[in-house]
Amino acid sequence: MDLPDSSKSTGELMLPEEAKLIAPRQLAHLGDAVFALYEREREIMLSVSVKQMHERVAHRSSAVVQAELLQKIADSLTDAEKEIVRRARNIKAPSGRSGGQDKYRQSTAFEALLGYLYLTSRRRLNDLLAMTI
């Protein structure tokens, strides 16, 4: 799935300096939606039923799997992307999460990275998402 190249009504993406001013939790909120849409679009051609599609998307959207996906792409991240990941990973995680605090923080970092890239570079976002398959 290739996401469109613009996010503002003017057709321009946000500058990285602007996106870095957004709180990591907000970037993660956006990244969660981006990843869910990416996974749903990818699964629509692979699943034989809506139930199967939902189960596959829910599995890949879990904190444990997203933490694994972050590790999978970690060596390919730029310094700026690593900084976004570091900032988001340091957010205090709610207690009682299944998979543990560490996995939750890593998945939040993964989602924040996706949110940041959605705002700044769709091409880079698509490249990193392709590495997660």
List the catalytic residues: 32
Closest CA to 32 of 3, 8, 61: 61
Per the structure block, which two tokens stand in for 25? 């939790």
Q: What three-state secondary structure class fits 59?
A: helix
Q: How far apart are CA 53 and CA 74, in angstroms?
A: 27
Cβ atoms of 33 and 125 within 8 Å: the answer is: no
* CA proximity to 118, closest of 42, 43, 27: 27
Query: Which residues lie closer than 8 Å to 130 by C-beta, 6 or more apart?
Result: none
